[in-house]
Amino acid sequence: MASPLIVARRFPWMRAWLVAQWLYRHGRERLERNLEERERRELWQLSRKSKGRPANLSGRERDRFVKLVRQAARGR
Tell me: the pLDDT tens digits for 28-51?
888 999 999 999 999 999 999 999
- Render pLDDT for 14-23 as a digit per residue (tens, 0 to 9): 889 999 989 8
User: Percentage helix, strand, coil, to 5, in the chain?
Assistant: 85, 0, 15
pLDDT, position 49: 96
pLDDT, position 67: 92
pLDDT, position 24: 87
pLDDT, position 63: 92
pLDDT, position 5: 46
Percentage of the chain lying above the pLDDT 70 cut:
86
| 44 CB burial (10 A radius; 0-12, 13-18, 19+) | middle
Q: Compute the Cα dihedral for 41, 47, 48, 50 and give only its sign.
A: positive
